[in-house]
C-alpha cells in the first residue's frame, strides 16, 4: 500500500495546473490554439506556439502537440467540448521541442505520432529539456519527451475521414534540418510550421537562410488561401510574406556588407533593419540571425 501516497501526490500535482487555452476557428474544419509571440517563460509556461486540430468528420488530426503534457491535455479537453471526436493522428512539423513535447499525452492514448526522419538524428530528448528549464515546474508535470512513433523521409498523402492531407518535406535545410508541412487541398489550407512566423522575429539560429527562402518560394506554388505558421496570429494567404521579406532583405544587406569587405561584427552593427524593430523578440533574436546568416553567406 506504500505506493498509494506517491500516486495520489502525483495525481494531485498533475491535476493542479491547467492552461487557459482559447480555441480559434480558422476554417470550418480547422481550429487552432495561438500562443504568445514571445520566448517560453514562467508566465506563458510554454503557451507560445501554435497547435491545430483538423476535424475530418471521423476524427481529429493534430498539427504539433505543443510544449508539454499539460498543454496537450488542455487543448484536447477544449476540443472535446467543441466536438467529442477521438484523435487519430498527431503530426510534428519539426524537431524543436516547443512543438512536440505534448506527444506523451497522445502516446498514452495509443495515438500514432508522425514526424520527419530528422527526429531520428536531431531530436533532443535529454533531461532537463529546453522547455523544462524555462517554465514553471507545475506546468511541466507529466511531460516525458516522446518521439514520433513513425517517421517519413519523403512526401506522403493521407486520406482520413473526409480530408486528404498532403505531407511535404522541404528538400533543403531551412528553419530546421527537415521541415514538414501539411496541406489540405480541399480548403487550400497550409500548416507551415516554423517556416512561417508572424507578430515576432523568426529564429534563424540552427537554420539556413538560403534554404528557408527557397522553401517559402516552394510553398507559394501551392496557392494556399489559409496559411497557419508555427508562431503568430496571421492566417490569411499573405501570412508568409513577413517572414520572406525579413529573410530576403537581411540576406541582401549582409551580402552587400560582405561585398564591402566588412567583418562579422561590423555587419551585425550595420544590418539593423528598422522596419522590423517593432516586432516582438527583435532585441532577442535579430543580432543572432545576422550573425548566423553572415557565417553561411560569407562562403558563397
Low-confidence ranges of the chain (pLDDT < 50): 1-14
Cα 225 from Cα 189, distance rounded (Å): 6
Q: In what order do the strands lie in the sheet with 87-91?
A: 24-27, 30-33, 51-55, 60-63, 87-91, 112-116, 150-152
Contact between 212 and 175 under an 8 Å Cβ cutoff? The reply is yes
The confidence score (pLDDT) of residue 15 equals 54
The confidence score (pLDDT) of residue 100 equals 98
Cell 471521423, residue?
58
The confidence score (pLDDT) of residue 2 equals 40
Quickly list H helices, the chain: 4-16, 69-82, 103-108, 118-122, 130-134, 137-140, 209-220, 241-259, 264-270, 282-297
pLDDT in tens, 25-79: 999 999 999 999 999 999 999 999 999 999 999 999 999 999 999 999 999 999 9
Domains of the chain from N-terminus onward:
23-239 (3.60.15.10)
Phi and psi, residue 173, nearest 5° = -60, 130
Q: In the structure grid, which three cell numbers stand for residue 63, read together?
A: 498539427
Cell 567583418, residue?
263
Q: pTM score > 0.85 for this model?
A: yes
Amino acid at each position: 500500500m506504500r505506493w498509494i501516497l506517491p500516486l495520489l501526490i502525483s495525481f494531485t500535482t498533475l491535476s493542479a495546473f491547467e492552461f487557459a487555452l482559447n480555441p480559434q476557428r480558422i476554417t470550418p474544419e480547422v481550429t487552432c490554439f495561438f500562443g504568445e509571440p514571445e520566448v517560453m517563460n514562467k508566465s506563458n509556461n510554454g503557451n507560445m506556439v501554435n497547435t491545430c486540430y483538423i476535424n475530418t468528420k471521423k476524427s481529429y488530426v493534430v498539427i504539433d502537440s505543443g510544449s508539454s503534457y499539460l498543454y496537450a491535455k488542455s487543448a484536447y479537453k477544449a476540443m472535446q467540448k467543441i466536438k467529442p471526436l477521438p484523435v487519430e493522428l498527431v503530426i510534428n512539423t519539426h524537431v524543436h521541442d516547443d512543438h512536440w513535447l505534448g506527444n506523451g499525452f497522445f502516446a498514452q492514448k495509443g495515438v500514432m505520432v508522425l514526424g520527419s526522419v530528422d527526429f531520428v538524428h536531431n531530436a533532443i530528448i535529454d533531461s532537463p529539456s529546453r522547455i523544462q528549464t524555462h517554465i514553471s515546474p507545475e506546468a511541466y508535470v507529466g511531460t516525458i519527451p516522446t518521439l514520433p512513433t513513425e517517421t517519413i523521409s519523403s512526401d506522403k498523402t493521407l486520406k482520413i475521414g473526409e480530408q486528404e492531407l498532403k505531407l511535404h518535406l522541404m528538400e533543403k535545410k531551412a528553419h530546421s534540418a527537415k521541415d514538414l508541412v501539411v496541406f489540405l487541398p480541399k480548403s487550400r489550407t497550409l500548416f507551415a510550421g516554423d517556416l512561417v512566423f508572424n507578430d515576432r522575429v523568426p529564429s534563424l539560429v540552427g537554420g539556413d537562410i538560403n534554404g528557408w527562402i527557397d522553401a517559402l518560394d516552394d510553398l507559394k506554388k501551392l496557392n494556399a488561401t489559409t496559411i497557419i505558421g508555427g508562431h503568430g496570429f496571421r492566417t490569411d494567404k499573405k501570412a508568409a510574406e513577413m517572414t520572406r521579406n525579413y529573410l530576403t532583405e537581411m540576406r541582401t544587406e549582409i551580402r552587400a556588407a560582405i561585398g564591402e569587405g566588412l567583418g562579422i561584427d561590423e555587419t551585425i552593427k550595420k544590418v539593423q533593419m528598422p522596419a522590423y524593430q517593432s516586432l516582438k523578440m527583435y532585441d532577442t533574436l535579430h543580432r543572432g540571425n545576422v550573425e548566423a546568416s553572415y557565417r553561411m553567406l560569407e562562403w558563397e
